[in-house]
């Protein structure tokens, strides 16, 4: 966990991206015994090793290799109209197959990025219990039964759609691209692949790629920094010229501007148009290149129908696409059309109507019908989304106060080279809270990718608190019993120190079942492209806090969990949630209702209170501007 990507996120996906070739060539499934021994016990070993190290910096890292995009497909420029009316473009010659076909054809053989890998930090001891998938019944979602294999299965591999592949190809060729798409069209999944492709392309000069986002949370989610932080502009209120002069005096910031070859900007909808212009000009000034951003390749993504930039007083919002430099900076603006998050076309259509503020009577009636209660018999409730943080805190607080079981508070400690003020600002944007009060039966969300099925956004319930040593022993016994072997004796007793350290054991819902995991603390940090650590947050178990702080001041540990009965809409942007509850009476900002409701994967998992069409606000200028977006049409579909 160093260099560009201090936090690696799976962008809500539950599966790695694989090529067909890889899928075909997979080794036969291991026997039951080897599966248990190899994967589960390995996780235990890693977890214990991590814990024993007492220092997040030496946490073990597991690396999983995946490959992607070696599908051969053909397409021709399409002519089909999309709503809203979109500009259709001829696909470039470089995408055409020069083979025998006389029609315009595309062969993915031109992709260079057929293979990529990702790594994740293993910070959990895992056990697997399995359950039968809940049957979908109106209002009552029954508790899952037990099954034997489902939860051991890996989730299905994800293949980039043709339009996702085409954008990847474009940016790989060096084109400045803005790509967008409604909620759930796989912008984040694609961005992850773009980052991997760029990291591969510039493997010899990793600081050539600046991974940034408009907000700290969005930046954390892609292992990047905020655009402000990358640019070294502080609040960025001065003119571009003054800011450039300021940056020149800051060696690190000016060298970042000079070394960067690719600037990635996520969640651009929250970037103010004036700021976009300033950044483009600063790049020109510092790099002595008349091109916007001084000729740096820019890859920009986001959805302007989602959360807008923070408004300055009574000033009208100015979107990035209204910036003078927008058109000069972004050569292609492409809209992804295939929605992945929701499978139900009725729901997709309802959300689309909501997005454009053109709700039909049928959709209004349907949205109103979603005010019914939903009972999840497995005990895992919905995540209630609120526009304001106070409501989130009080909702989670009330739920916690009802729990009577064992509880623990985990505190964060911060470090890093940033000034106190900067650090506070950065850390405020972390997903993880400064102090985390947990109790048995608390509903939590994982905020980091641990492996293929335990990903950022996985929901679970705290079953108990345990120390790693006894958890491992208990788990090994369970495995032996499951395999029909006598349980082993003479296990090493946990050390005194280990016994004192209790960590939450969480039962997470995973595709096809549930997994029990002991969640161990992790190292959290924000890094600049040159590897300088700006801020880090440490969380240590309350019992150890004094000795840790006074004796060593070094541990960098944190639990990758948050309470998840409630969450702010702001934090939820980018998440995929199976169980969502939203009270629209509290919504006040444009895009908020759309962001909140579009987190849900199905109508059955969505409860909406106080639905009213006048709670759905859309910026007219976004609606108008979106009509000019280009879509890539393929004769036999965009899948």
Binding site for ligand ATP (CB under 6 A): 11-14, 158-161, 164, 181, 183-189, 303, 340-341, 574, 576, 598
Compute the distance between CA of residue 345 and CA of residue 330 in angstroms, rounded to an integer.
32
Closer to ligand ATP by CB, 159 or 257: give it. 159
Tokens of 235: 């609040």
Taking the complex as a whole, the smallest distance from the CB of residue 219 to ligand ATP amounts, in Å, to: 14
Taking the complex as a whole, the smallest distance from the CB of residue 431 to ligand ATP amounts, in Å, to: 15
Three-point CA angle 80, 83, 84, nearest 5°: 120
Render 356-393 in DSSP notation, one character per residue. Answer: HT---HHHHHHHHHTTS--EETTS--PEEEESSHHHHH
Say how far residue 593 (Cα) sits from the centre of its chain. Answer: 20
Which residues fall in the annotated binding site for ATP? 181-188
Integer CA distances (angstroms), 576 to 262, 448, 544, in order: 28, 14, 35
Closer to ligand ATP by CB, 64 or 551: give it. 64
Closer to ligand ATP by CB, 452 or 633: give it. 452
DSSP-derived letter for residue 91 is P
Taking the complex as a whole, the smallest distance from the CB of residue 500 to ligand ATP amounts, in Å, to: 39
- Where do we find the tokens 């080794």? 27
* Nearest partner of 374 among 172, 134, 175, judged by Cα: 134
HSE-up of 357 (CA within 13 Å, CB side)? 16
Which runs of consecutive H residues, i.e. helices, occur in 121-272? 162-172, 187-201, 216-221, 227-231, 240-248, 251-259
**The pairing of beta strand 566-568 with beta strand 383-386:** parallel
Which residues fall in the annotated binding site? 181-188
Taking the complex as a whole, the smallest distance from the CB of residue 314 to ligand ATP amounts, in Å, to: 29
Angle at which helices 273-287 and 251-259 pack, to 10 degrees? Answer: 90
Closer to ligand ATP by CB, 159 or 565: give it. 159
Taking the complex as a whole, the smallest distance from the CB of residue 449 to ligand ATP amounts, in Å, to: 12
Closer to ligand ATP by CB, 184 or 605: give it. 184
Taking the complex as a whole, the smallest distance from the CB of residue 457 to ligand ATP amounts, in Å, to: 9
**The pairing of beta strand 524-527 with beta strand 533-541:** antiparallel
Closer to ligand ATP by CB, 159 or 293: give it. 159
Closer to ligand ATP by CB, 294 or 591: give it. 591
Taking the complex as a whole, the smallest distance from the CB of residue 77 to ligand ATP amounts, in Å, to: 22
Q: How many residues appear in the chain?
A: 639
Render 139-182 in DSSP notation, one character per residue. Answer: SEEPPP---SSGGGSPPPPB---HHHHHHHHHHHTT--EEEEES
Taking the complex as a whole, the smallest distance from the CB of residue 20 to ligand ATP amounts, in Å, to: 13
Q: Please, what sign has the CA dihedral across residues 190, 191, 194, 200?
A: negative
CA-derived radius of gyration, the chain: 25
Closer to ligand ATP by CB, 5 or 125: give it. 5
Closer to ligand ATP by CB, 121 or 185: give it. 185
* Nearest partner of 11 among 215, 221, 155, judged by Cα: 221
- Where do we find the tokens 């790695």? 16
Integer CA distances (angstroms), 69 to 7, 90, 95, 176, 434, in order: 24, 22, 15, 21, 40
Compute the distance between CA of residue 439 and CA of residue 464 in angstroms, rounded to an integer.
8
Compute the distance between CA of residue 478 and CA of residue 128 in angstroms, rounded to an integer.
11
Closer to ligand ATP by CB, 477 or 589: give it. 589
Compute the distance between CA of residue 520 and CA of residue 614 in angstroms, rounded to an integer.
45
Compute the distance between CA of residue 637 and CA of residue 246 in angstroms, rounded to an integer.
50
Tokens of 516: 């029990």
Compute the distance between CA of residue 463 and CA of residue 123 in angstroms, rounded to an integer.
18
CB 268 within 8 A of CB 214: yes
Closer to ligand ATP by CB, 346 or 639: give it. 639
Taking the complex as a whole, the smallest distance from the CB of residue 269 to ligand ATP amounts, in Å, to: 9
Compute the distance between CA of residue 297 and CA of residue 175 in angstroms, rounded to an integer.
7
Closer to ligand ATP by CB, 303 or 507: give it. 303
Compute the distance between CA of residue 335 and CA of residue 88 in angstroms, rounded to an integer.
11
Say how far residue 15 (Cα) sits from the centre of its chain. Answer: 13
Compute the distance between CA of residue 114 and CA of residue 110 in angstroms, rounded to an integer.
10
Closer to ligand ATP by CB, 192 or 581: give it. 192
């Amino acid at each position: 966990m160093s260099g560009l990507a201090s936090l690696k996120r799976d962008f809500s996906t539950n599966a790695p991206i694989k090529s067909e070739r890889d899928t075909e060539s997979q080794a036969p499934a291991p026997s039951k015994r080897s599966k248990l021994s190899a994967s589960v016990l390995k996780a235990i070993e890693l977890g214990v090793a991590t814990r024993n190290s007492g220092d997040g910096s030496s946490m073990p890292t597991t690396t999983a290799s995946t490959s992607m995009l070696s599908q051969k497909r053909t397409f021709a420029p399409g002519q089909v109209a999309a709503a809203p009316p979109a500009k259709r473009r001829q696909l470039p010659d470089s995408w055409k197959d020069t083979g025998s076909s006389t029609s315009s054809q595309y062969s993915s053989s031109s992709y260079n990025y057929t293979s990529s890998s990702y790594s994740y930090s293993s910070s959990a001891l895992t056990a697997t219990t399995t359950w039968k998938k809940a049957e979908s019944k109106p209002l009552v979602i029954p508790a899952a039964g037990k099954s034997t294999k489902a939860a051991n299965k890996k989730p299905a591999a994800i293949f980039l759609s043709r339009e996702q592949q085409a954008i990847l190809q474009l940016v790989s060729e060096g084109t400045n691209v803005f790509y967008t798409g409604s909620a759930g069209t796989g912008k984040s999944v694609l961005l992850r692949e773009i980052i991997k492709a760029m990291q591969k392309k510039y493997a010899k000069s990793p600081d050539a790629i600046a991974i940034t986002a408009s907000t700290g949370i969005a930046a954390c989610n892609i292992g990047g920094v905020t655009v402000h932080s990358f640019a070294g502009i502080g609040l960025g209120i001065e003119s571009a010229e003054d800011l450039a002069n300021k940056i020149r005096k800051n060696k690190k910031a000016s060298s970042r501007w000079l070394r960067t070859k690719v600037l990635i900007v996520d969640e651009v909808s929250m970037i103010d148009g004036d700021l976009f212009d300033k950044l483009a000009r600063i790049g020109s000034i510092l790099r002595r290149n008349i091109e916007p951003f001084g000729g740096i390749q820019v890859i920009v993504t986001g959805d302007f129908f989602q959360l807008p930039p923070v408004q300055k007083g009574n000033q009208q919002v100015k979107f990035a696409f209204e910036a003078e430099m927008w058109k000069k900076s972004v050569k292609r603006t492409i809209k992804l059309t295939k929605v992945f998050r929701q499978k139900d076309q009725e729901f997709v259509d309802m959300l689309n109507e909501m997005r454009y503020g053109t709700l039909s009577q049928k959709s209004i009636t349907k949205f109103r019908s979603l005010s019914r209660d939903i009972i999840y018999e497995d005990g895992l409730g919905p995540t209630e989304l609120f526009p304001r943080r106070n409501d989130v805190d009080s909702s989670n607080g009330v739920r916690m106060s009802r729990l009577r079981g064992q509880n623990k508070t985990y505190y964060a400690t911060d470090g890093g080279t940033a000034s106190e003020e900067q650090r506070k600002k950065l850390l405020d944007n972390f997903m993880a809270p400064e102090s985390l009060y947990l109790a048995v039966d608390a509903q939590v969300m994982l905020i980091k990718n641990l492996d293929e099925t335990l990903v950022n956004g996985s929901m679970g319930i705290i079953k108990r608190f345990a120390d790693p040593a006894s958890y491992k022993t208990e788990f090994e016994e369970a495995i032996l019993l499951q395999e029909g072997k006598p349980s082993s004796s003479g296990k090493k007793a946990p050390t005194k120190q280990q016994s004192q350290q209790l960590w939450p054991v969480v039962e997470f819902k995973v595709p096809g079942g549930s997994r029990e995991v002991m969640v161990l603390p992790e190292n959290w940090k924000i890094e600049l492209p040159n590897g300088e650590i700006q801020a880090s947050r440490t969380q240590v178990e309350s019992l150890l806090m004094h000795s840790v702080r006074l004796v060593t001041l070094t541990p960098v540990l944190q639990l990758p969990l948050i309470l998840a009965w409630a969450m702010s809409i702001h934090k939820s942007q980018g998440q995929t949630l199976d169980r969502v509850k939203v009270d629209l009476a509290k919504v006040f900002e444009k895009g908020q209702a759309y962001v909140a409701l579009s987190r849900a994967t199905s109508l059955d998992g969505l409860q909406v209170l106080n639905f009213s069409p006048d709670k759905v606000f859309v910026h007219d200028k976004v609606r108008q501007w979106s009509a000019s977006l280009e879509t890539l049409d393929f004769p036999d579909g965009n899948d």
